[in-house]
Chain A
Amino acid sequence: MDINISTFEQLHNVCISTNKPIYEIAQEVMATSEDISVNEVRSFALRSLFAMKEAINSGMRSDELSMSGMCGDDCAKLQKRFEKEHSMFGRLFENILEYALATSEENIRMGTIVACPTAGSCGILPAALIAVSREYGYSEEEQINALITAGEIGRIISIKVALAGAVAGCQAECGTASAMAAAAVCQLRGGNVRQILNASALALKNLLGLTCDPVAGLVEVPCVKRNPFLAVHSVTAVELALSGVESKIPIDEVIDSMAQTGALMSPMLKESSQAGLATTKTGLKIKDHVFGEK
């Protein structure tokens, strides 16, 4: 399919006029632009999906701390507790939290992860996609459909907003990841195009203004624990969207607002560790401790 889709309105219209889901349009456009087959696009997605599962598996088995010593053993704590006492929301909720932490912790101990869209936000999409797929027994093909749907959401967001904390704050990284995760899960649960775009809009809207203020300049505090929070956040958006709840502001305009908010955000709160959590009394103390002997 030889078309250039740069807004969600366009994507929506193409899906409606061709009567195709988002992933079909996305994989056909990608195949045409890279001069490869649709199967090759899907193989690429499968490789990422496989790496996401590997990261979860490795992360679930480790409690090794990062080089700074700040993070790395929280997933083990969750697993230990859930063995004895189940969470209030049941097994699926437990898996989402565990998978998100497992992936994020694997990232900070230099394990292999999929930057999706970024390394700091790498736990959000895989946790939601894979935990929901395991819970309901979705096939590998359905999981690839969901991942491609998510990728298309991220791609269109990235046209207007650079997906980098240094440019637009964490709303652009973890916010985008959450919008992607919402789209993936909504696709899995049988949502239509409108519901998928609403799920993404709802997820994103609730994260506008999120700053990037990492302690000691490392992708650890607050990044690691933000991943399980936002994986659950994505599922909330899906439940709303599948019930017919709509974002009053269309997703394209939500993204305009994210770009504007990112531009207005002080550089001190955009990955420079010059304000926010990074410069709290404790944040500075940790920084001294981590980089004290240079």
Chain B
Amino acid sequence: MKKSTLFDIISPVMAGPSSSHTAGAVRLGLLARNIYKKNPKKVVFKLYNSYAHTGKGHGTDKGLLAGILGLRVDDRRIKNIFDADIAKNIEYRFEYYDNFRRHPNAVDIELYGDYDMKICGDSVGAGEILITKINDFNVSLSGNYNTLILVYKDKPGVISSVTSHLQYANINIASLSCDRSAKGQDASMIICIDGNLKEDIVQNIEKMDDIYFVTYVEKLEN
């Protein structure tokens, strides 16, 4: 677990009123945007529990949409995002649910466009967030690191083949976690790295055998 730094205590500069319900919402939207990689045509936000109950008073809905549109937590347009020009070309809807199995501040973001994607996440406090699911795969993305996400066939040697590509590029791995649906079936790998990964490395990994899906998600600025 990462400890707070001096910077964490005297920041972020953010649109109020709540780090979890406003800044956290913007960051969830932003990270979802980084994962989806394109401008979606339509977005459905499903808000759960406290996000559903007090979200309106905290601008949670505005924050989520602003994040999807690429605005940072301190952007002055967040407050009036529903009337802003950049929100004119996107269709969006908010739905509200109670579900005790979900985190108090949980949201599902369904993105529709060139392709469809469902991203689930929680706002875990002090503006920190966690993306917990992308489509059917469980993940754990905080947005604090540049991250490589892979879906691959569970078999010996895949992990070391992937990490050797990173070693070749002189990239340090901050953390690595794997999960699989069953032995020899689909597996997922999440690699948080220090520094930046060049596009050609991602492409090389994509060309490997037994790799079904690769995406590189850039960390959030603040």
Residues of A near any B CB (own CB < 8 A) = 26-27, 29-30, 33-34, 41, 44-45, 47-48, 51, 66-68, 106-120, 122, 147-148, 150-152, 154-155, 158-159, 162-164, 166-167, 180, 216-220, 290-291, 294
CB distance from B64 to the nearest CB of A (A): 14
**Residues on the A chain within 8 Å of B188, using CB:** none
Shortest CB–CB separation between residue A230 and chain B, in angstroms? 17
Using Cβ atoms and an 8 Å threshold, which residues of chain A touch B7?
Answer: 30, 34, 44, 151
Which residues on the A side are within 8 Å of B4 (C-beta)?
154-155, 158-159, 163
Could you tell me the dominant secondary structure of chain B's interface residues? Answer: mixed
**CB-CB contacts below 8 Å: B1-56 with A:** 3-19, 22-23, 50, 53-54, 56
Ranked nearest first, the 8 interchain pairs of A and B with the lowest CB-CB distance are A107-B16, A217-B54, A154-B9, A110-B79, A51-B13, A151-B10, A151-B6, A218-B57
B18 contact set on A, CB distance < 8 A: 119-120, 219
Q: Which residues of B contact A41 (CB under 8 A)?
A: 6
- A217 and B53 contacting across the interface, CB-CB below 8 Å: yes
Is A66 a contact of B17 with CB atoms below 8 Å? Answer: yes
> A107 to chain B: which residues have CB within 8 Å?
16-17
Q: Any chain A CB within 8 A of the CB of B59? A: yes
The complex places the Cα of A150 from the Cα of B10 at a distance, in Å, of 8
Residues of A within 8 A of B126 (CB): 115, 117-118, 163-164
- Report which of B13, B19, B57, B96 forms a contact with A48, defined as CB distance below 8 A: B13
Contacts of A66 in B (CB 8 A): 17, 57
Task: Find out whether the CB atom of A47 lies under 8 angstroms from the CB atom of B5.
Answer: no
Pick the most buried of A26, A115, A291, A294: most chain B CB atoms within 10 A of its CB.
Answer: A115
Alpha-carbon gap, A143 to B76, bound state (A)? 26
- Do A155 and B16 have beta carbons less than 8 Å apart? no
Q: Does B143 contact A (CB under 8 A)?
A: no
Q: Verify A119–B125 contact, CB threshold 8 A.
A: no
* Nearest CB in chain B: distance from A105 CB, A: 9
CB-CB under 8 A from A290, the residues of chain B are 57
Inter-chain contacts of A122 with B (CB < 8 A): 16
- Write the chain A residue with the least CB distance to B3: A159
In the bound complex, how far is the Cα of B17 from the Cα of A113, in angstroms? 9
Shortest beta-carbon distance, B31 to chain A, in Å?
19
Q: How far is the CA of A67 from the CA of B17 in the complex (A)?
A: 10
Most buried by A among B4, B56, B78, B127: B4
Chain B residues packing against A (C-beta within 8 Å): 3-19, 22-23, 50, 53-54, 56-59, 62, 74, 76, 78-79, 96, 125-127
Which residues of chain B have C-beta atoms less than 8 A from A151's C-beta? 6-7, 9-10
Our pick among A33, A118, A152 for the contact of B19 (Cβ within 8 Å) is A118
CA distance A159 to B4 in the complex (A): 7
Residue pair A115, B54 in contact (C-beta under 8 Å): no
Bound form: Cα–Cα A108–B58 in Å: 8
CB <8 Å contact, A155 and B5: yes
The docked-state distance in angstroms from the alpha carbon of A63 to that of B5 is 35
22 A-B pairs with CB atoms under 8 Å apart are A26-B6, A41-B6, A51-B74, A110-B16, A110-B17, A110-B79, A111-B16, A112-B14, A112-B74, A112-B76, A114-B13, A119-B19, A147-B10, A148-B6, A148-B10, A151-B7, A154-B9, A154-B10, A159-B4, A162-B125, A163-B9, A291-B53
Residues of A within 8 A of B74 (CB): 51, 112
Contacts of B125 in A (CB 8 A): 162, 164, 166-167
* Most chain A CB within a 10 A radius of its CB, from B3, B13, B62: B13
Q: Decide if A111 touches B10 in the complex (CB within 8 Å).
A: no
- Measured between beta carbons, the chain B residues less than 8 angstroms from A119 are 14, 16-19, 22-23
A155 to B134, CA, bound (A): 33
Contact A115 B57 (CB under 8 A): no
- Cα distance, A116 to B125, chains bound together (Å): 14
B146 to chain A, nearest CB (A): 16
Alpha-carbon distance A219/B57, docked complex (angstroms): 9
Whole-angstrom distance between the alpha carbons of A216 and B57 in the complex?
9
Cβ of B9 and Cβ of A117 under 8 Å apart?
A: yes
CA distance A116 to B7 in the complex (A): 10
In the complex, chain A residues whose CB is within 8 Å of the CB of B76 = 112
Q: Are A291 and B57 in contact, CB atoms less than 8 angstroms apart?
A: yes
Closest A residue to B58 by beta carbon equals: A218
Could you tell me if A218 and B10 are in contact, using CB atoms closer than 8 angstroms?
Answer: no
